[in-house]
Amino acid sequence: MRNSPDFDTGERRTDGWAGFPRWSWDLNYVMKIIKSSILTLLLAGGGLFQTEWALAAESEAPMRVVPFVDLARYAGTWYEIARLPNRFQRACVEDVTATYALRPGGKITVVNECRTSEGKEKSAKGTARLASEKGPNSKLKVTFFWPFSGNYWIIDLDADYRWAVVGEPDRKYLWILSRDPQMDEALFRRLIDRAQQQGYDVAPLIKTRQSQAASGR
């Protein structure tokens, strides 16, 4: 009597799919098929998987900062070239600058300015200090509304202090600054690439319009 296909009698029958035992497939063979399929998927999207894995690993790594900053040379006016969107600069559409003045006691006066879509000038004044006496002086804390403060980490800096990249350990904020209202596009792309190597998602980065650059002044 022919056994019902709804039950496994333990017999090795070869009238199943593709000539293999219908209810007693070789487990090793099945695992080989699964592994082969996974390998094919990985190879098909290899570049994408590698890129995403690298970004994830970089975003989990500690943020690297400039080992030392001459704060006296760092002082002065910086033009914002680009930034990651943030709520406290939501009204700023152009002419964003940051001016730093070193105080005798070691703290830094911070004045941020910008122009709104209505053409009005907007400014905010704060104070920066070392995040830690033991840490590098490229890690600062900035306070605009006491007692709240935010991280201000200088993660990249030109040897001649002509440009700087400012970030923070959570990688939510990023600013690219320059002593000039405009920046060479090739340099701009290099700084973006370096920020990405630090684990930043640079896709939302927005460039800041500087009217001085637009007018050629």
Per residue in 80-90, pLDDT (tens digit) is: 999 999 999 99
48 has pLDDT over 50: no
What is the spatial distance between Cα 62 and Cα 138, in angstroms, rounded to a whole number? 15
Band of pLDDT at residue 34, cut at 50, 70 and 90: low
Q: Among 30-34, 102-106, 112-116, 142-146, name the one with the lowest average pLDDT.
A: 30-34
Phi-psi region of 115 (alpha: psi -120 to 50; beta: other; left: phi over 0): beta
pTM of the model: 0.73
Residue 146 confidence (pLDDT): 85
CB contact at 8 A, 117 and 91: yes
Q: How far is CA 146 from the centre of its chain?
A: 27
pLDDT above 70 coverage of the chain, percent: 70
pLDDT digits (tens, 9 = 90+) for 110-130: 999 999 999 999 999 999 999
Residue 16 confidence (pLDDT): 38
Strand partners, 202: none
pLDDT digits (tens, 9 = 90+) for 159-200: 999 999 999 999 999 999 999 999 999 999 999 999 999 999
User: Is the bond preceding residue 181 a cis peptide, omega within 30 degrees?
Assistant: no
Residue 212 confidence (pLDDT): 81
End-to-end alpha carbon distance in the chain: 97
CATH topology of domain 71-210: Lipocalin (2.40.128)
152 has pLDDT over 70: yes
What is the spatial distance between Cα 201 and Cα 84, in angstroms, rounded to a whole number? 9
Between these two residues, 202 and 44, which has the higher pLDDT value? 202
Question: What residue ranges do the domains of the chain occupy?
Answer: 71-210
209 has pLDDT over 50: yes
Mean pLDDT value across residues 81-110 = 96
